[in-house]
Amino acid sequence: MTELKLPAIDYAALAPMLIMLGAALVGVLVEAFVPRRLRHPVQLVAAGVAMLAALVMVVRNAGGEVITAGNAIAIDGPALFLQGTILVLALLALLLIGERAIEHGGAFVARAAIVVDSAEDRRQTANSRGATEVYPLTSFAVAGMLLFVAANDLLTMFIALEVFSLPLYLLCALARRRRLLSQEAALKYFMLGAYASAFFLFGIALVYGYTGGVAGAGAGVDFATISNAVGNSARSEVILFAGMAMVAVGLLFKAAAAPFHVWTPDVYQGAPTPVTALMAACTKVAAFGALLRVFYVAFAGAAWDFVPVLGVLAVLTMLIGSVLAVTQTDIKRLLAYSSIANAGYLLVGVLALNEAGLSGTMFYLAAYGFSVLAAFAVVTLVRDADGEATHLSRWAGLGRRSPLFAGIFTFILLAFAGIPLTSGFTSKFAVFAAAAEAGEIWLVIAGVLTSMILAFPYLRVVVMMWLSEPGESTPSVATPGGLTAAALTVGVLATLLLGVAPGPLLDLANGAASFLR
């Protein structure tokens, strides 16, 4: 009888993921055993400390490279950079989540537009026992994202995909006021996400069938083996291309790239705004981290075949995001279409398929994450008696009512538009320069043209805030609490510093731009 040999595990390399999973499990126990009045502070502190501890371990692991857990997980430069980015952005999103819970006495109440409160809504809110389960759910989601960007085989990547997707589906439904819109958004996200996961799983089966990886002692499971089989397998390449396409569907869905973007506006609008901020920043980092590893490592040998297809999808994504953003009348839906367009710009960096493209994409993910978190932090502050005022008509004259926060939001919108001396300009320049270096000039031209289109809805909001007279329906801007103020300050300062002095983070991204194969 053959002796079973357990795979070697480097626990220090896996520590960030293990810490977040441990924090999530502790959060579940807190929900079961800690008195209700103490749950919120205990959960907030536990989740925050866990994120900081995980970030410390990421920094400690910097400079080291290891493939561990039976070749299932690769801890290398891109994985560590993206894990650090996810943890920093998740910590800022946690501050927004914690602030909202504090304001409502522990109940995670997020108010979205359109659906009118009913008496039943008000009764359930008044009798709410709180929704502190948001903290362990967030920890589970972050743990899954950390694993997603470090997965070194498709099955591990699928498990990570489900670990962070399922908590996000639940988080989207946690709004206690106007909950029908929130629950509808969660259901849409869940249903479409289930289809995308099914495509991803079928793609895994086809790719493993092409490489012969399912049979035997795990041969063909890891990305390096898949890479070696591409172009060298005796099996039909039709199987490979079909598998690649299905895997790409699952990843592009999470990245909110067209034509798999349809969930994004509804979910961004219906989810509690702090949860929307978490998804807009961290989920995009995780999705593109996985895309980079799959197409730079596993399928690198088939670049000649997938670049034209993904290039067309990138142009379609930029076009749909920029054009439909022009027609939006809700600020959260506008930011959703902005996120879709930015997914297209990120795909331009991915398709450069060179070191500059890898480092530029990672820099873009970090810079965009800070900006979008700051944007949603401002959205949480613009309120009236019914909650957040997200309809654009309500923002008219906001510069007269609150020039400070209108000025901050103007700066963030200019960063999204790619104005110089902001992180948006530096980010776009980085990915477009990488694509031009790779000879993908057509993608650069499409990116520049769609950026010009996308600037219009941003400038329309700026004009509305500053040049319109405030009306009776113009809401006030709430004084931010300490947690929201901290998150907003960090987001705005990062947006400014990464535009004025991007060198340190660019150098860090350049130094991390090498996959361990």
Please state the separation of Cα 158 from the chain's center in Å. 17
Rounded mean pLDDT, 50-65: 93
Choice between 191 and 180, residue whose per-residue pLDDT is larger: 191
| pLDDT at position 218 | 46
Rounded mean pLDDT, 494-515: 94
Phi, psi at 62, each rounded to 5°:
-60, 140
Choice between 128 and 130, residue whose per-residue pLDDT is larger: 130
| pLDDT at position 4 | 62
Report whether 344 contacts 428 (CB < 8 A): no
| pLDDT at position 350 | 95
Which of 8-17, 70-79, 492-501 is the most confident on average? 492-501
Report whether 145 contacts 278 (CB < 8 A): no
Name the band, by pLDDT with cuts 50, 70 and 90, for residue 103. Answer: low
| pLDDT at position 102 | 54
Closest C-alpha among 20, 93, 29 to residue 58: 20
How many angstroms separate the Cα of 210 from the Cα of each of 158, 166, 240? 18, 30, 6
CA distance 270 to 179: 9
| Domain-wise residue ranges, the chain | 11-512
Residue 63: CB atoms within 10 A of its CB come to 10
Q: Residue 513 pLDDT more than 50?
A: yes
Portion of the chain with pLDDT greater than 90, in percent: 69
Rounded mean pLDDT, 483-500: 95
DSSP state letters, 377-442 = HHHHHEEETTEE--BGGGGTTHHHH-HHHHHHHHHHHHHHHT-TTSHHHHHHHHHHHHHHHTT-HH
Report whether 470 contacts 401 (CB < 8 A): yes
Of 94-98, 264-268, 453-457, 475-479, the one with minimum mean pLDDT is 475-479
Choice between 213 and 454, residue whose per-residue pLDDT is larger: 454
Of 141-145, 348-352, 394-398, 497-501, the one with minimum mean pLDDT is 394-398
Answer left, alpha or beta for residue 53, where phi above 0 means left and psi between -120 and 50 means alpha. alpha
Name the band, by pLDDT with cuts 50, 70 and 90, for residue 213. Answer: low
Which of 99-108, 159-168, 398-407 is the most confident on average? 159-168
Residue 209: CB atoms within 10 A of its CB come to 18
| pLDDT at position 228 | 85
| pLDDT at position 130 | 53
Choice between 367 and 210, residue whose per-residue pLDDT is larger: 367
| pLDDT at position 372 | 96
CA distance 220 to 227: 9
Span 139-186, pLDDT tens digits: 999 999 999 999 999 999 999 999 999 999 999 988 766 678 889 999
| pLDDT at position 516 | 83
Q: How many residues does the chain have?
A: 517
Of 55-69, 88-102, 212-226, 286-300, the one with minimum mean pLDDT is 212-226
CA distance 516 to 79: 10
| pLDDT at position 117 | 43
DSSP state letters, 225-272 = HHHHHTTT-SS-HHHHHHHHHHHHHHHHHHHT-TTS-THHHHHHHHS-
| pLDDT at position 166 | 94
| pLDDT at position 126 | 40
Of 75-89, 205-219, 302-316, 346-360, the one with minimum mean pLDDT is 205-219
